[in-house]
Structure 1
Amino acid sequence: MPGPVRNASRALSPAYALAFGLQLCSGIALCALPAPAHAQEGLLEFDIPAGDLASALQLFARQAGVQILFPYDAAERKRSPALKGRMTATAALDRLLEGQGLAVATRDARRITLRAAPVRRAARPRPQPAAAPRPPVPAPPPPVDIVVTGRAVDVPVAASEMSYALTSIPRDGLDMSAPLSTAALFQQVPGFWVESSGGEAGNNIRSRGIPTDGFSAIAFAENNIPVQYDGALGYLNTDQSFRIDDTVARVEAVRGGPASLFMPNAPGGVVNFITRSGLDEQGGRVTLTGGDNGFLRFDGYHALRLSDEWGIVAGGFFRSDGGRRPPGYTADSGGQIRFALDYRGAGNSLSLDVRHLDDRVTFYLPVPLRLGKDGKPEPVAGFDPLHDSLAGPETQTLPLYNGRVPTDFDLSEATHTRLTAITLRGTARLGGGSEWHGGLRWRSSDTARNALFPTGTPMTGAAYLATIEDRMQAAFPDMAELALRYALDGAEFPDAANALVTGGNLLAVSVPLDEVLAETRLTSTLQAAGRHDVALGIGAAHYAYRFERYMGTLLMELADEARLIDAVALDARGAVTGRYTDGGVQRYGSLFDAARMAVDALAVHASDEWRLSPDMRVDFGVRWEVNRIDGKVAGQTLVDLGDPTTLADDQLLVPDGSLVRLRRSDSGFGWSIGGNYELSPQLGVFARYTHSFRLPSASNFNTAPLRTDQQTVPIAMTELGLNLAGDTFDVSATLFSTHFQRLPFSDFRFDTGTNTYVETTEIADTRTVGAELEAVWDPAGPFDLVMQATLQDARYRNFAFTQLVDGQPVERDFSGNRLIRVPRLSLRAVPGIALVKDRLRVEMTGEYFSKRYADIANAQALPAYLLIGLNLRALLTDRIEMGVHVTNLTDALALTEGNPRNGSFDSGVSDDGYFYARPEFSRTVRVEAALTF
């Protein structure tokens, strides 16, 4: 299917074209707004009538051209005198605040934050690293924060006012923990079950028992705009499209709650990466990090204020790595750069962000293991599961077939993403307490994923030969004996009776993607039986991609940097008369797919945050979304390339020249209502019910365009929680229940007898109940403690079906089984200590995960495990810092998943106790030095 991916796009329908046109015109109009004069302390015209102080402060902000943050409940209980005339902004604010019990906490050219006495405490950030000494006198209490994730309005709220569960990770928290991947960062979020054992990209994340892999239910956002509209696109997980670097200022993660109202494909939550602005900070930093296995990384950023209204940020990273399980060649190489230009003035804002990613990272897969006499996993003789790699020089470059086309497969290409994203965001003051918010993101990317996927289970060479003997005898009648030979030099494979061999698939996938995302949102404040902060938004997306996949199946020895093996037929004289394999390839073209897809998405959402009284808030909202998919999928046929000396080329999957057309439309309607009641200025309780949905992903039809098992999946979620922000102790606790209905579950099993995939899909429900806890204890003194815990019971429901086994019907019933790979208990504790007048900070991390199951049948157990890490950060001078980061300090063998290629329904273990599973990585040590300027 030749041609660039953009040819997969069709003309936008009038509705979609209108949405994009409105957004584009709004962005152009915003760019054309005249830039006001620099915000200096000159005379301004103020006309603020007497009335409610909160309304007066908002009018002051608009007339002064600044943003003002203040505790609304304190201001609403006070009356403000009229203010009219020409005066400075400072003088005007002083007159408004006189005798009101409010004072300025922070102030700069664009933002003023007020505090009350006593001041309401917001959720405190995690303990600070040793970035600077503590001041000799206590700092003023922190102001009320603006939480931007999971909301459509920019009204400040305190932790005790929140009606959903949110975790905020500030920049110092990112620096202290130095996560090895984007997914690893989310281990700091309770309720998230993260598998970061795939490397820097291509991992899995789940929230509150959501039974789908990848990022199909957790959305990534960058400054509240999706990084990728559909994070569930096949072989294109969202974490392949994004890397954390020094240009990220903080991270906010919402579990459940209203996330699905304002973000597409986010029933389980949203993770929002908020980037730095040259208007918020000045200066920069460069960091050099080195580690074991040849790891080297350079990070840097520079923020610069050009004027009172304009600021820029530039930064990024470059990294080279020999690999977490080194394959004998450079495993990871590449980087990311970002440039951002920000404007804010007179109540308007504009931001232009350009990000380019060109990064190649290895996708790590399961390793061979066996069950010991005690039933616990242990290494296979001759293979270290924490340090060895089946991939190596012999599998790095190999001639295969992409359909009918001979192709040189390159395993070192790994997961290679080349991406450019340009984002335009802005706000405009409309008057009358209303604002316009808009965002437009264009993204073009080309992603390839080349990997070596192990298949089946390890077996002795003799056992393998027994499985192919009949086919070889039929193909080569003069065969007297079967033997194994090394593919490159023809040397005899030693001790076939005991030495182990294994199968593997060299899989190459290419997914070029072009995407445009847009959203226009209007917000306003109304007074009717209390205060209403309302929002109405419309979002649209158009994306098109090309999906191409081919695969060849190998035979290898079971060893580090495995060598390829040929299975050969010998005649009575010992001469080779035929080969089952060809240069180690068991089957050329064991998989081939080609498809083009174009998707139009349109969503409308509305919300209202209603403050009924100073102590009570209610928020509710709705979302309607429709996706329209238009695609073409190539038909397939089998061909024999005609080499009579081998069976490897007898069944090559190739396109047959036909195209199957796909046209479908899916829609969903969701809503959420939550309420919060403040028992005290430090303690609030909340409740929420959310009815959400997940629309079918276009990639579900990449290989089966006529399938009928994909429909909109309804999702119900209930939450009860509390938020406590005390002087030395902060707690966030949530009880939750999640119910999925009519969810398709696929068993994608590789049949080692035919060297082809067999797929089975069944429809079932799931239900999960659980509790989340996040606590920070920071008493006076050098010690502090952060803890997260998730306890959940996640079960399949209505999961009964009939399966054919050897041609005979067998009844299966997985109802009541625990969800695949979800631990019942997850614990994370981070004790820390600050020494040497806070110039040295040391943290130890402990992460415990209870037993899980690798398959839906709950037949293959994955044992509980404990990971211990160490982080150290020292301020050597006022500008130079040093950090040390150690993961998996004890080199624990911690299994996160089995081998999905063996089937997710019942993966099983061989009679000899051999199986495949993917572990967390071995102990890793990294040392960094940072210079701040």
Structure 2
Amino acid sequence: MTLNPVAADVRLSEAIADLSYSRALEAAGHHDLTLGLYGVGYDWRFRRAVARALVEARGQGRLLDLVALDAAGRVLGRATDGGLSSRGSTYEAVDGHQRMVALYAADEWRFAPDWRLDWGLRHERAALSAWVERATTVNGGDPATLADDRIAVGSGIWDRRRARIARTAATLALHWRASDRLGLFTRATHAMRLPDPGAFRIGSGDAVRALSVEQAELGLIWRRGGAGLDATLFASRFPDIALPDLSLDPATGAVQVGQHDATARTLGLELSGHASPRPGLALRGTLTWQDPRLRHYRFADTTGGTPVVTDLSGRMPRRVPRLMASLSASATLPGTGWTLDGDVSAMGRRFADDANTLALPGFALVDLGASWAATPVLTLRLRATNILDRIAVMQGDALGGEIRAGASDGVITVRAQQGRVVAFSVDWRL
């Protein structure tokens, strides 16, 4: 099979400042008010080169050479070079900069003995800029192989990209303490995430945008001694998402990055509980069920020279499950300095593509750990993740089709979670 080995170099220099002021005051009730100013500036350097390699489809697969022979068995030429069918099919270089400032305010207003109103505002303004190097192709000069005929390298020509963007996030929640053990709340939130200079990588020019999230919640909180349960009904809407679409140029093998516009929504229920049945023992679990759906997801493809409109509205977004769950436990052994812990995380069936043609099976992973506080300053820890060495498929092949998954003779390529890993660490505090 053909793989796309990647070499990348990413460097970041960043400075962050946060100035906040908090004050309690009385005005038609009790207020805990917070005001703040936040600023960040960073320089980001990104370089990436992608090759193409012919590899055996097996564990620890070897690189394969494709060689042309004459009738006498003499080598006439090679389609590969040391297993590489292209020493450089894709080249990317971006030097990005971002400056962002945010003003925020929040208040917890207890206007009655059992009632509280929480609100928060955050306004962000960002200036993005980047220099993006154009790629060109060169011939490596080896006539005995085709692998170096078109090597993607930097051209030395840089294009400037700039964008300014501002957005405001807000949240408002009403809490009612119905009894000493029971509380109810409702919350409405408009959140956002501003883009970063990496958005210029996809060749979208200056057309960068923020991601918005609108969410409504209705929740219940119950507490009794060392036990508690939270239950939250939620509805979320994503009005302006851009779904990436990776593909390979059939002529050069270069990675092409595009995007399709869509909206999405999800309805769900989240349960979270914790308990301490005895001193030193803690249990915690979460369970989330949701129904995520794409909306207004239409795009045009060309088939046989004829434009064909595809409508994937109503499908589930790629890699988003309906069901997720986790359970963790930790126990401290009195007088020994030992702490034992373990957790199980599970994820239900998802789809590798937006067309929902390739289903990814659900899985459960088990992690175990132990730590020993040998002295007040020295702690030893042993941790085993995915101890059962399960093959947990996380996503399909991005280059094989995330809009509509591709398959060759019934064979698919997927990406799995890392297998069993055992780590030992020493923590020494000065």
Structure 1: gaps (5+ residues): 1-501
Q: Which residue of structure 2 lines up, in the alignment, with residue 193 of structure 1?
A: none
Superimposed CA distance per residue, residues 911-933 of structure 1 (whole angstroms, 9 cap, x where no aligned partner): 1x322222233334456788899
CA contact (8 A) 1:874 1:882 kept: yes
Residues 872 and 809 (structure 1), Cα distance of their counterparts in 2 relative to 1, 3 Å cut: same
Q: Which residue of structure 2 lines up, in the alignment, with residue 744 of structure 1?
A: 242
SS at match of 1:915: coil
CA contact (8 A) 2:202 2:258 kept: no
Residues 850 and 706 (structure 1), Cα distance of their counterparts in 2 relative to 1, 3 Å cut: same
SS at match of 1:779: strand
In structure 1, distance between residues paired with 2:178 and 2:378: 45
1:825 correspondence with 2:323: yes
SS at match of 1:702: helix
SS at match of 1:856: coil
- Which residue of the other structure, out of 892, 897, 915, is the alignment partner of 2:412? 915
- Which residue of the other structure, out of 105, 111, 124, is the alignment partner of 1:612? 111
1:631 correspondence with 2:124: no
SS at match of 1:711: coil
Matches within 5 A, 1:549-628: 549-628=48-127
CA contact (8 A) 1:662 1:705 kept: no
- Which residue of the other structure, out of 161, 169, 174, is the alignment partner of 1:670? 169
- Which residue of the other structure, out of 382, 386, 399, is the alignment partner of 1:901? 399
Superimposed CA distance per residue, residues 851-882 of structure 1 (whole angstroms, 9 cap, x where no aligned partner): 11111111111111122343445678999877
Residue-pair matches, total: 430
Residues 625 and 781 (structure 1), Cα distance of their counterparts in 2 relative to 1, 3 Å cut: closer
TM-score (norm 2): 0.90
Q: Which residue of structure 2 lines up, in the alignment, with residue 792 of structure 1?
A: 290
Q: Which amino acid aligns with 1:738?
A: S
Q: Which residue of structure 1 lines up, in the alignment, with residue 41 of structure 2?
A: 542
Residues 565 and 615 (structure 1), Cα distance of their counterparts in 2 relative to 1, 3 Å cut: same
Q: Which residue of structure 2 lines up, in the alignment, with residue 682 of structure 1?
A: 181
- Which residue of the other structure, out of 243, 260, 263, is the alignment partner of 1:765? 263
CA contact (8 A) 2:46 2:93 kept: yes
In structure 2, distance between residues paired with 1:824 and 1:554: 36
CA contact (8 A) 2:163 2:206 kept: no
Matches within 5 A, 1:90-101: none
Q: Which residue of structure 2 lines up, in the alignment, with residue 382 of structure 1?
A: none
Q: CA deviation at 1:594?
A: 1.9
Q: Which amino acid aligns with 1:916?
A: T
Superimposed CA distance per residue, residues 385-427 of structure 1 (whole angstroms, 9 cap, x where no aligned partner): xxxxxxxxxxxxxxxxxxxxxxxxxxxxxxxxxxxxxxxxxxx
Q: Which amino acid aligns with 2:265?
A: R
Q: Which amino acid aligns with 1:522?
A: Y
Q: Which amino acid aligns with 1:746?
A: P
CA contact (8 A) 2:150 2:252 kept: no
Residues 627 and 729 (structure 1), Cα distance of their counterparts in 2 relative to 1, 3 Å cut: same
In structure 1, distance between residues paired with 2:391 and 2:144: 44
Superimposed CA distance per residue, residues 30-84 of structure 1 (whole angstroms, 9 cap, x where no aligned partner): xxxxxxxxxxxxxxxxxxxxxxxxxxxxxxxxxxxxxxxxxxxxxxxxxxxxxxx
Residues 700 and 520 (structure 1), Cα distance of their counterparts in 2 relative to 1, 3 Å cut: same
CA contact (8 A) 2:176 2:185 kept: yes
- The CA RMSD over aligned residues, in Å, is 2.9
Q: Which amino acid aligns with 2:344?
A: G
Higher relative contact order (CA 8 A, sep 6+): 1
CA contact (8 A) 1:660 1:705 kept: no
Q: CA deviation at 1:754?
A: 3.3
In structure 2, distance between residues paired with 1:903 and 1:777: 44
Q: Which residue of structure 1 lines up, in the alignment, with residue 148 of structure 2?
A: 649
In structure 2, distance between residues paired with 1:921 and 1:915: 19
Q: Which amino acid aligns with 1:915?
A: I
CA contact (8 A) 1:738 1:768 kept: yes
- Which residue of the other structure, out of 203, 210, 215, is the alignment partner of 1:712? 210
SS at match of 1:562: coil
Q: Which residue of structure 2 lines up, in the alignment, with residue 691 of structure 1?
A: 190
In structure 2, distance between residues paired with 1:876 and 1:524: 43
CA contact (8 A) 1:860 1:909 kept: no
Q: CA deviation at 1:591?
A: 0.9
In structure 1, distance between residues paired with 2:124 and 2:375: 54
SS at match of 2:178: strand
Matches within 5 A, 1:156-555: 502-555=1-54
Superimposed CA distance per residue, residues 748-797 of structure 1 (whole angstroms, 9 cap, x where no aligned partner): 12356631113331100010111222112223588763221111111111
Superimposed CA distance per residue, residues 539-595 of structure 1 (whole angstroms, 9 cap, x where no aligned partner): 222212222222222222234443322212222322212221122221132111222
Q: CA deviation at 1:618?
A: 0.8
1:774 correspondence with 2:286: no
Matches within 5 A, 1:874-885: 885=383
Residues 639 and 921 (structure 1), Cα distance of their counterparts in 2 relative to 1, 3 Å cut: closer
Residues 885 and 600 (structure 1), Cα distance of their counterparts in 2 relative to 1, 3 Å cut: closer
1:815 correspondence with 2:313: yes
CA contact (8 A) 2:98 2:196 kept: no
In structure 1, distance between residues paired with 2:362 and 2:130: 44
In structure 2, distance between residues paired with 1:612 and 1:871: 46
In structure 1, distance between residues paired with 2:332 and 2:155: 67
Residues 620 and 589 (structure 1), Cα distance of their counterparts in 2 relative to 1, 3 Å cut: same
Residues 660 and 732 (structure 1), Cα distance of their counterparts in 2 relative to 1, 3 Å cut: same
Q: CA deviation at 1:801?
A: 1.4
Q: Which residue of structure 2 lines up, in the alignment, with residue 336 of structure 1?
A: none
In structure 1, distance between residues paired with 2:282 and 2:143: 72
CA contact (8 A) 1:633 1:705 kept: no
Which is richer in strand? Answer: 2
TM-score (norm 1): 0.43
In structure 2, distance between residues paired with 1:694 and 1:861: 30
In structure 2, distance between residues paired with 1:646 and 1:924: 40
Structure 2: gaps (5+ residues): none
Q: CA deviation at 1:701?
A: 0.3
In structure 1, distance between residues paired with 2:242 and 2:63: 38
Superimposed CA distance per residue, residues 305-347 of structure 1 (whole angstroms, 9 cap, x where no aligned partner): xxxxxxxxxxxxxxxxxxxxxxxxxxxxxxxxxxxxxxxxxxx
Superimposed CA distance per residue, residues 671-723 of structure 1 (whole angstroms, 9 cap, x where no aligned partner): 11112111223332221111122222211103526253x32333211112222
Q: Which amino acid aligns with 1:579?
A: R
Q: CA deviation at 1:604?
A: 1.4
